Amino acid sequence: MSARDAWPAIGAETLDWESRYAEASALDRFDPRPQTYDAAVPPLIAERALQLSPRTAALARAAENELIRFDASLNDEMTGFAPLLLRSEAAASSQIEHLSASARAILTAEIGDTSKRNATEIVGNTRAMQSALALADELTPASVQKMHEVLMDGTKHTPGQWRTEPVWIGTSARSPVGAAFVAPRYERVSALMEDVMAFARRDDLPVLAQVAVAHAQFETIHPFTDGNGRTGRALVQSMLRGKDITRSVTVPVSAGLLTDVSAYHDALTAYRAGEVQPIVEQMAIASDDAIRNARTLIAQLRDTTTGWRETVRPRTGSQLEKVLDYAARQPVFTAASASADLGIGTTNIYPHLRRLTELGVLKQKAEYKMGQVWRADEVLVALDEFAERAGRRRG
């Protein structure tokens, strides 16, 4: 690769640090020297050529083809598996940020239990992923802001708004002085986001490589005060859907990244130094890992639902069959939530819930402030095992 074609490293600019507190502390008065820090100055990439080594290009192309094949392989099973894969992606993306919860806690939060903070935040990430897919045809700064708005709804972190203060990666929360990485000064964010989203909309690049680079550039910009990692991985899903790689399901790529988080973070660091190959390769490897893990999950779910049908023997098109299918894709629910989602009157749904509970398909429990809740424990176990596999480093 020639120097002309090499991907540029980020630059830097030296800025003065001003404390958020108006009055200097005693320590500041003791050492009144002005403090400075170096903030990143990312290159503009909207029209830049993307040159990959033959090995990296082949790896990315193979992973892209596997994503397309996996998506196509599910066919008429999309209705049942798509919501579960979406939740699995949201949970894995959250786990990269050290937010974890059981499938039962997450799904209970989804129907209104806000007592567990991690589970509630993961539900916000699920909704952000849903927003990302709904906005897949746009790929604009506004669509990214909408994803963040949904993700951070109800928090103090200015949902959907570009940051107006420095953000950094380092051990000190007091100041960016001496930090390992300081994102661009906030005045640059708007123009940089216009640029990276123009890059994301291009149709002349290998898609998986384009997705990886757009993600790395987004994480370098760090446009929000919080939630950048989760929003950036939602952007990955939006691009995969918008470019027809995953037309029907959300492949849990974050679960693949979770398999080796250190390598993922190292690849982002390398990108900032002008090395584009590592993040493309990590995205390809993560996609392959995610597909393998998702296939295991789907095989478990197929076995479970086949066993249910053999036990229950519902009549085709009956309300009982609808409730049974619903339990597979929404394995924690109340009678009211099932009634609303399925359009079956509450009075009519109770006999079906009793029947499925008697046959061992569902379990019923009174939850604090929630009333009676029904669970499909076999599905919850499969989801927790998926998360456990994702968090296990490859040997």
- Residue ranges for the known binding site are 226-233
Angstrom distance (rounded) from CA 96 to CA 121: 13
Asked if residue 104 lies in contact with residue 209, where contact means CB atoms within 8 angstroms, the answer is no
Angstrom distance (rounded) from CA 128 to CA 42: 26
Binding-site positions for ATP: 226-233
Asked if residue 290 lies in contact with residue 252, where contact means CB atoms within 8 angstroms, the answer is yes
What is each CA distance from 218 to 99, 126, 174, 200, 315, in whole angstroms?
21, 20, 24, 10, 50
Positions marked catalytic: 222
Angstrom distance (rounded) from CA 219 to CA 246: 22
Angstrom distance (rounded) from CA 123 to CA 131: 12
Asked if residue 315 lies in contact with residue 321, where contact means CB atoms within 8 angstroms, the answer is yes
Q: Which helix (H) or strand (E) holds 304?
A: helix 277-312
Strands of the chain, DSSP E? 11-16, 36-41, 168-169, 181-182, 332-333, 363-367, 371-375
State the virtual CA torsion across 279, 280, 282, 287 in degrees, nearest 10. Answer: 140
Angstrom distance (rounded) from CA 44 to CA 196: 8
Go through the chain and tell me how many residues it has: 395
Angstrom distance (rounded) from CA 223 to CA 216: 12
